[in-house]
Structure 1
Amino acid sequence: MRKRLLATLALSLTAFASLPSLAAPRDDFKVCWTIYAGWMPWGEAKAQGIIDKWAKKYDVTIDVVQLNDYVESINQYTAGQFDGCAMTNMDALTIPAAGGVDTTALIVSDFSNGNDGIVMKGKGKTVADLKGKTVNLVQFSVSHYLLARALETAGLSERDLSTVNTSDADMVAAFNTQDVQNVATWNPLLAEVKSMPDTTEVFNSSKIPGEIMDMMVVNTETLKENPNLGKALTGAWYEMTALMISETPEGQAALVAMAKASGTDLEGFKAQLANTKLFYTPKESLDFVLSPDLPKTMEKIAQFSFDHGLLGEGAPDANAIGMAFAKDVTVGDTNNIKLRFDPTYAQMAADGTL
């Protein structure tokens, strides 16, 4: 009887300990980013110890990892190798969300205001001159979206030209060859190709302000179960951006370090920042995320994505993936919400409660 009782007790304790709701919260996380003007603060926040400072405050550890290939970074996040990843709004929709990974835009950090552009060599001087030409770009990325929006302004469509998929890691080298005459890309690559002889930027993202957003996204389930991850990342981000605009020797040194890390000098980095509507304060980000324009923009992005077959196999229309916004606003399929713009943590930063 006693053996049976002990066995029963042991079995009960095993079952009790295995209950998901009683599992100890995680305390070790990894997020990734790639070189881009609006994401350089992540690398500098790590170098400055700001990430570790905020992680320690919330009893977690966060490894902020730089990767060299943008699309690969998103693929690794989608596969679960990272808990968060710096990416654009469209890529968040078409890769992790379309792949079934419920994803939250933790920090909407900026929108491109000239940091993405289309550059032609030689005689090409306008978007209309792209007709019949070939454009190298990261296929189905925001560069592709930018190209489609540019063609609209000239009464053209993608049927009027050809595109070649080219990794961002290879873009500058490709444009330096005779075979590649036209590219759509983002900074700092854009600055490099624009600096080459006999080139013209025929369109950039300042013509479509607010449509190409840059974000730090986090797996929704991970964030829900571990809110300290969201608090630490958000606190670290806004401490870093505050330092950038502090007009102190420390702030200047941080800008110089970010410039060097992105392969340019301070003047070049400041030029890239000038083409980035970076939200230096949580209030700026909140104003953008709470705007009624955001859901409308994302519907436009969803339509482009559906037209290019990026919303998953069998998606019936542009509403296949649901998206949730502030104030209980949703668009798309409410039974399939996979992308969320959650202002909770930015609001905490704005309120000074982090």
Structure 2
Amino acid sequence: MHTVKKLLVAAGFVVCAQLGLMTQASARITLGLSDWPGWVAWYVAQHNGYLKKYGAHVRLVWFPSYMTSVEALSAGRIDANCQALIDTIAPIVKKVPLKVILVTDNSAGNDALMVNNSIHSFAGLKGKSIAVEMNSIEEYLDVTALQEHHMSAADVHFINMSTGDSAAALITGRVAAAGVWNPWIQRIEARHAGHALFTSAQAPGLIPDLVVARASVVAAHRKDFVGLAKAWFATVRFIKAHPRKAAAIMAPHVDLTPAVYAASLSGTRLFGKHLNHIAMNPGPSSASLYNSTVHTGRFLEQVKMVKAIPNPRTFIDAGIVDQAGR
């Protein structure tokens, strides 16, 4: 993903009108989204009329650059945004008034530590160079993978590169490993330049993706957010029942073929009503944001992006998904 799911195109965004399902004038909430399967899925909600059906007066706003969408939410230029937990904690620590109102998905294989074909174990990675975007989800995944195999960042040499450059460096043999996400995983494999040593499928709950909104907007338009959650639950049901149809709806928005996009979709664990209830409340599951916040916060402390881990109770609003699930 997801990264921090940062796309390799120019910053900025293009407003995407809702193609007749809802007029621009009727939209009360702007929802930012960017190129990640768990977020492009909102176009399924739009295409199938779920936003209108459940009374969610929402306008989708497309961002070619993921990090621009995160910055836009913090600055108040949009009302809500699709973003990862790792990119939500720092603004919250800085007192940006945000609320997590929905979990769209967990990465379940779409993020990976890819290595060249001569490496088959973590022992073989020792002393080697890993290209990765520092302070990102990919670095977080790589560090977690090392720790789970009794190694640390000190045992390897991290080189700071964008995700696309990291993949290119592995493909051309300039580095032994790279932390990347799809479609870069698929591109490395297609060129037979490497394979996954560790993926997000081996770390359930590590990379949650969310809908995060300005607290004042949640207070003013709560019914719209409940409708948004209902529309999401319907979207998840449709994608699970009709994955090929869903991929055909989503793929044109990211200039991929449905077949290629279906592979990315399979590496995303979409969260419907039941999983959202687990994620948005305290409990032992790795899917709970109460647990993910602690683990992610420790990493952010380690790389000195935050000085403290926020209390999940201060920014998680479980009431919206609870009401939508009734």
Displacement of 1:114 in angstroms is 1.7
Structure (1 or 2) with the greater helix fraction: 1
Whole-angstrom CA distance in 2 between matches of 1:174 and 1:44: 35
Which of 245, 249, 253 is the matching residue for 1:257?
249
Whole-angstrom CA distance in 2 between matches of 1:192 and 1:47: 29
SS of the residue 1:65 aligns to: strand
Displacement of 1:118 in angstroms is 0.6
SS of the residue 1:86 aligns to: strand
Whole-angstrom CA distance in 2 between matches of 1:63 and 1:173: 36
What amino acid sits opposite 1:269 in the alignment?
Y
Q: Which moved more, 1:172-181 or 1:118-127?
A: 172-181
Correspondences of 1:8-27 after superposition (within 5 Å): none
Displacement of 1:273 in angstroms is 3.1
TM-score between both structures, scaled by the size of structure 1: 0.75
Tell me, yes or no, if structure 1 residue 285 matches structure 2 residue 285: no
RMSD across aligned positions (CA) = 2.6
Displacement of 1:291 in angstroms is 4.7
Contact 1:132 1:161 in 2 (8 A): yes
CA offsets 1:108-151 (integer angstroms, 9 cap, x no match):
12212222111012422223333223322232122111111111
Gaps of 5+ in 1: 1-25, 325-336
Q: How many residues are paired up?
A: 297
Tell me, yes or no, if structure 1 residue 112 matches structure 2 residue 107: yes
The corresponding residue for 1:85 is 81
User: Relative to 1, partners in 2 of residues 1:135 and 1:51: Cα closer, same or farther, differing over 3 Å?
Assistant: farther
SS of the residue 1:299 aligns to: helix
Gaps of 5+ in 2: 1-25
Contact 1:150 1:203 in 2 (8 A): yes
What amino acid sits opposite 1:155 in the alignment?
H
Displacement of 1:193 in angstroms is 2.6
The corresponding residue for 2:190 is 195
The corresponding residue for 1:344 is 319
Tell me, yes or no, if structure 1 residue 272 matches structure 2 residue 261: no
The corresponding residue for 2:221 is 226
CA offsets 1:313-336 (integer angstroms, 9 cap, x no match):
xx2xx44x3321xxxxxxxxxxxx
Whole-angstrom CA distance in 1 between matches of 2:69 and 2:212: 12
Contact 2:171 2:194 in 1 (8 A): no
TM-score between both structures, scaled by the size of structure 2: 0.80
What amino acid sits opposite 2:311 in the alignment?
G
Whole-angstrom CA distance in 2 between matches of 1:69 and 1:162: 28
Percent identity, aligned pairs only? Answer: 22
Contact 1:137 1:144 in 2 (8 A): yes
Which of 106, 130, 133 is the matching residue for 2:128?
133
SS of the residue 2:109 aligns to: coil
Rg (Cα) greater in structure? 1
Displacement of 1:91 in angstroms is 1.7
Whole-angstrom CA distance in 1 between matches of 2:169 and 2:223: 43
SS of the residue 2:115 aligns to: strand
Displacement of 1:177 in angstroms is 4.1
The corresponding residue for 1:242 is 237
User: Relative to 1, partners in 2 of residues 1:177 and 1:260: Cα closer, same or farther, differing over 3 Å?
Assistant: farther
User: Relative to 1, partners in 2 of residues 1:30 and 1:158: Cα closer, same or farther, differing over 3 Å?
Assistant: same
User: Relative to 1, partners in 2 of residues 1:180 and 1:67: Cα closer, same or farther, differing over 3 Å?
Assistant: farther
Tell me, yes or no, if structure 1 residue 121 matches structure 2 residue 96: no
What amino acid sits opposite 2:233 in the alignment?
Y
